[in-house]
Amino acid sequence: MALKSTIFKVKLSVANISTHHYEDYNLTLAKHPSESDERMMFRLIAFALHADSGLSFGKGISNTEEPDLWLKNLSGQIASWIDLGQPDEKRIRQACGKASKVYIYSYQPAAANIWWSGLSHKTRNHESLE
């Protein structure tokens, strides 16, 4: 029998004086059985950093077509694509083609340095990537 996701309810209050964004969020986070607690918390941190009423979580760690978080504008276009971890060049290229801004948060410092040193020269032309 397959393991099911664990559901977490979170109340997040954001007060960002830099962007003048002040809002309370009632979030539901589904933690995939293969996802670590650390990764789930980084998804929550990424949400807090990019907090917006239109920001939503993707379908999950097992879905390769969606990011961990994304923000769509009123016309349905992707304004922000937010991924965690160390995506490959193909995924980064696809994300940059679909979204106005792409953010990648790599939360494992030792592995991130090796990953980025192999990719940085290949992603220089992606102006939307941060």
The per-residue pLDDT for 108 is: 83
pTM listed for this prediction: 0.88
Distance CA 64, CA 91 (A): 9
Contact 56, 74 (CB under 8 A): no
The per-residue pLDDT for 62 is: 67
Distance CA 27, CA 9 (A): 6
- The mean predicted confidence, pLDDT, of the chain is 89
Which class for 25: exposed (0-12), middle (13-18), buried (19 or more C-beta within 10 A)? middle
Is 80 exceeded by the pLDDT of residue 125?
no
Close Cβ partners of 118 (under 8 Å, ≥ 6 residues apart):
none
Distance CA 89, CA 95 (A): 10
The pair phi, psi for residue 84, each rounded to 5°, is: -110, 150
Contact 45, 84 (CB under 8 A): no
